[in-house]
Amino acid sequence: MTYNFPIIGIGASAGGLEPLELFFEFAKPTADFAYVLIQHLAPNHKSLMDELLARHTKLPIQIIQHNMPLERGNIYLNPPKKFVELHEGRFVLSEKEDRKLSFPISTFFNSLAEQGHEKACAIILSGTGSDGSEGIKFIKEKGGLVIAQNPESSKFDGMPKSAILTGAVDKVCAVEQMHQELESFFSNTVELDRQKLDSKDSKTVIASILGTVYQQLAVDFTDYKYTTVSRRIARRMSLLGYSEMAEYLDFLKVHRDEAQLLSKELLIGVTRFFRDEEAFEYLKNSVIPKLIAENQETKSMRVWVPACSTGEEAYSIAILIRDYLRIHKLQYEVSIFATDLDKESIKLAANRIFPENISSEIPPEYLHLYFIPQRKGFTISKEIREMIIFSVHNVVQDPPFNKIDLISCRNFLIYLNSNLQQRLFSLFQYSLRTNGFLFLGSSESLGDASDDFLEIDKKNKVFANKQNKKNDSTTSVFG
């Protein structure tokens, strides 16, 4: 379902009442928005939030019920002991007891991202912990807006600070400014939607924008898909209040920091641990045992994770390999090269303190064995961290790695046009040894490169390199 009005998801916890009252005092009764408030509620106490907020707004307030339709011009409040999600214009409630751990804000934001896309907004207000910080990444990935309360104005700054550390927050501001940001972003988005982005004039301006980025940063985005590029440029324009691409181009030319921000926008660095559980389960049960057996003589393994973003995918693979070696009492030298073009992402990946809500993504046995609890989340164990070499690397322009057993390049190729995809597949064939494995994302395919790889598992997107380009010898993948 496509929504024709913005949906504003608001996450609040301890100290959230005062900013919520202030937020809705500034909400216009005529605003074309729907507001969904997800707060941490005591399970056995009746919430008075509806009565308290009614003193500060004329908008109708409703406690969410299962299958209730979502309509503009309303404020919706989550009920106690329930998780709230959206599906085809209606609310879906589920029992908290059915979930491993309680992160209701991130749960709703994930759902909002999938349903709302560019019409979604996530706002993080005062609260302890890190709930919401994983969910906002997906709002950002789908083109929505992410706002965090200024930590200095928050009674409890844990949630806003955790959100800001993800790099997915677009605006950090006082509560009084939030409606101005909402109206600016969504009114400009409406104007940009009306432009004919496929027109010759628009394509010419976008080419100039990408040329300016290349001139300033030496990063070439010309082979990214036009739909992706135009949508991300439009998003930056909305954030800055521009409705004309030519005006944005003029701004870009004189503000070097904007080229960096647009570049980060185009890189779309959203990841999570064990993303697509079934695919990682296949990697664990079928690919890793095969790789260990094939490297029994050298007792070494080399893995490359290009476009690794903030490192969750690389850490996930390291955990699976280390756990297999632990169970089978084996000692191998494992080198995982995790690379990305974004310097900030690489810096963050190499020195991670993961938020507490990663515990909803990671099997309990892995969490216990390979993560160290900290006051504000988790750090990765030394044995996992030492397996990975994080480095800044342009997969298109820099020399590739070689003698690689496994390349995991997931959810990156979908943003590139077919010509660049084929160039990368050729590069991967050079990097992988004969029979080395290629692991792609669920929506990605080999296209014209399918003759160079053997399909090992169609559903989980696992392929084997038929022949290394530097090596004429070939053997059966499972022979």
Is residue 473 assigned to a domain? Answer: no
Record the pTM: 0.80
Residues 104 and 170 in one domain: yes
Is residue 477 assigned to a domain? Answer: no
Residues 330 and 458 in one domain: yes
Residues 177 and 202 in one domain: no
Is residue 475 assigned to a domain? Answer: no
Provide the residue-wise pLDDT of the chain in tens; the chain has 479 residues: 567 899 999 999 989 999 999 999 998 887 789 999 999 887 766 678 888 999 999 999 999 999 999 999 999 999 988 899 999 999 999 987 655 557 899 999 999 999 998 899 999 999 988 899 889 988 998 889 999 999 999 999 989 999 998 888 999 999 999 999 998 888 877 565 555 667 788 889 999 999 999 999 888 898 888 888 988 898 898 888 888 889 999 999 999 899 989 998 888 767 788 888 899 999 999 999 999 999 999 999 999 999 998 899 999 999 999 999 999 999 999 999 999 988 888 998 888 888 887 887 889 999 999 999 988 789 999 999 999 999 999 988 888 899 999 999 998 888 888 889 999 999 999 999 999 999 999 888 898 888 999 999 999 999 999 988 764 333 333 33
Q: Are 34 and 6 within 8 A, CB to CB?
A: yes
**What's the rounded Cα separation, in Å, for the pair 8 and 5?**
10
The pLDDT value given to residue 344: 85
Query: Within 13 Å and on the Cβ side, how many CA atoms surround 64?
Result: 30
The pLDDT value given to residue 474: 36
Is residue 229 assigned to a domain? Answer: yes
Residues 127 and 214 in one domain: no
Residues 285 and 224 in one domain: no
The pLDDT value given to residue 242: 86
The pLDDT value given to residue 102: 73
Residues 100 and 132 in one domain: yes
- Any idea what the CATH number is for the domain that residue 431 is in? 3.40.50.150
Residues 428 and 330 in one domain: yes
**What's the rounded Cα separation, in Å, for the pair 2 and 6?**
11
**What's the rounded Cα separation, in Å, for the pair 45 and 37?**
17
Is residue 392 assigned to a domain? Answer: yes
Q: Which residue among 267, 300, 325 closes a domain?
A: 267
- What the block records as the tokens of 372 is 């160290």
The pLDDT value given to residue 227: 84
CA angle centred on 376, ends 382 and 132, rounded to 5°: 115
- Any idea what the CATH number is for the domain that residue 233 is in? 1.10.155
Convert 106-130 to b/e letters by CB count within 10 Å (16 or more is b). Answer: bbbbbbbbebbbbbbbbbbbbbbbb
Classify 207 as helix, strand or coil. helix
Is residue 106 assigned to a domain? Answer: yes
The pLDDT value given to residue 101: 59
Q: Which residue among 138, 172, 189 closes a domain?
A: 189
DSSP string, 37-79: EEE---TTS---HHHHHHTT--S-EEE--TTPBP-TT-EEEPP
- What the block records as the tokens of 71 is 């309509």
- What the block records as the tokens of 148 is 């965090």
Q: Are 160 and 149 within 8 A, CB to CB?
A: yes
Residues 160 and 200 in one domain: no
Q: Are 80 and 107 within 8 A, CB to CB?
A: no
Residues 158 and 214 in one domain: no
Q: Which residue among 249, 267, 285 closes a domain?
A: 267
Q: Are 20 and 53 within 8 A, CB to CB?
A: yes
Residues 75 and 183 in one domain: yes
- Any idea what the CATH number is for the domain that residue 27 is in? 3.40.50.180
- What the block records as the tokens of 202 is 């628009």
**What's the rounded Cα separation, in Å, for the pair 47 and 64?**
13
The pLDDT value given to residue 269: 66
The pLDDT value given to residue 365: 93
Residues 132 and 43 in one domain: yes
Q: Count Cβ atoms within 10 A of the Cβ of residue 316 and give its class: 0-12 exposed, 13-18 middle, 19 or more buried.
A: buried
The pLDDT value given to residue 195: 58
**What's the rounded Cα separation, in Å, for the pair 354 and 380?**
8
Residues spanned by the domain of 134: 7-189
Is residue 474 assigned to a domain? Answer: no
**What's the rounded Cα separation, in Å, for the pair 189 and 373?**
42
- What the block records as the tokens of 281 is 């389960």
Residues 170 and 245 in one domain: no
Task: Write out the E strands in 112-245.
Answer: 120-124, 145-149, 171-173
Q: Are 229 and 197 within 8 A, CB to CB?
A: no
Q: Are 174 and 203 within 8 A, CB to CB?
A: no
How many domains, in total, are found in the chain? 3
Is residue 385 assigned to a domain? Answer: yes
